[in-house]
Amino acid sequence: MDIEIKGTAVPAIGIGTWEVPPEPAYDAVAHALSLGYRHVDTAQAYGNEGACGQAVADAAVPRDQVWVTTKVWMANAAPDDVRTSTEESLRQLRTDYVDLLLIHWPVADVPIADTLGAMVELMEEGKTRTVGVSNYTPSQVREAARVAPILTNQVEYHPLLDQSELLAEAAADGHRLTAYSPLANGQTVPEHPVLAEIGEGHGKTAAQVALRWLLQQEVIALPRSTRPERRAENFDVLDFALSSEEMARISELGSKEGRVIDPPFAPAWDT
């Protein structure tokens, strides 16, 4: 299943690779591609671009059928560093282009327009098909959308975190959210009793209900698992649908306090 964003089809479920060292990242990506995943999410900061790229190169699936996202680390946000670090990412990934290049976190001392300007230049040269941002607040993403054709804002999103403001910004611009930590980093969501109860009616798990709830909002989801059976479970969400009542009941679980990823360098989220 794809999600259509500004004329580009993006595979709705991607395999996450944060905190996965190279060897297990290779195995996870190779296994995910064999299951039918067509979207791989990596980053300069993850230290596994080489392994992810090798798994994509070794797969039976042609490169042009796999969506590859990488992210420019904060220390590389100045325009020259965007270029050199992205060119290094492409070498690591063993590819001529990525499908999506994101700035990983907002950076206070480099103007958004400068970083995105350098990323758009790379897009015009064919080194990335699209550009986007990650961990941007409502006002930051509004500014980003003014200066570049952003495809997505990749942010934490799951049933326990209310992201209605960012969804409204996305709707106003025409971009879509990408949900990282769609299972709240494994905390609480896969065991949530309301999600489990709704899942029972569909023969699905709480984790599958959480992922399906994202897809039905046209949000891309990036679950991660070290366990092959869970990678299969997380991809097996395309054959059922939540009713509008179930969608609303799940949305009621979310609050501003539901955030699990909040490092010291994070922006003031509500600005």
Helix (H/G/I), strand (E/B), else coil: 1: coil
Q: How far is the CB of 188 from ligand NAP (least distance, A)?
A: 10
Q: Which residue has the tokens 């409204």?
A: 168
Which residue's Cβ lies closest to ligand NAP?
16
Task: Rule CB under 6 A: choose which of 223, 237, 242, 246 binds ligand NAP.
Answer: 223
- Ramachandran category for residue 254: left, alpha or beta (phi over 0 → left; psi -120 to 50 → alpha): beta
Q: Is 209 among the residues that bind ligand NAP (CB under 6 A)?
A: no
Task: Give, as ranges, the residues between 168 and 187 that touch ligand NAP (CB under 6 A).
Answer: 180-186
- CA 175 vs. chain centroid, Å, equals 13
Rounded to whole angstroms, the Cα distance separating 176 from 153 reads 7
Rounded to whole angstroms, the Cα distance separating 66 from 218 reads 19
Q: For residue 254, which amino acid is it?
A: G
Convert 233-268 to b/e letters by CB count within 10 Å (16 or more is b). bbbbbeeeebeeebbebbeebbeeebbbeeeeeeee
Q: Is 138 among the residues that bind ligand NAP (CB under 6 A)?
A: no
Q: Is 10 among the residues that bind ligand NAP (CB under 6 A)?
A: no
Q: Is 144 among the residues that bind ligand NAP (CB under 6 A)?
A: no
Rounded to whole angstroms, the Cα distance separating 134 from 150 reads 10
Task: Rule CB under 6 A: choose which of 76, 128, 130, 225 binds ligand NAP.
Answer: 225
Task: Tell me, yes or no, if 46 is annotated catalytic.
Answer: yes
Q: Is 153 among the residues that bind ligand NAP (CB under 6 A)?
A: no
Q: Is 154 among the residues that bind ligand NAP (CB under 6 A)?
A: yes
Q: Which is nearer to ligand NAP, 84 or 265 (CB)?
A: 265
Rounded to whole angstroms, the Cα distance separating 98 from 12 reads 17
Q: How far is the CB of 178 from ligand NAP (least distance, A)?
A: 8
Instruction: Provide the annotated active-site residues.
Output: 46
Residues that bind ligand NAP (CB under 6 A): 16-18, 41, 104, 134-135, 154, 180-186, 190, 207, 222-227, 230, 233-234, 261
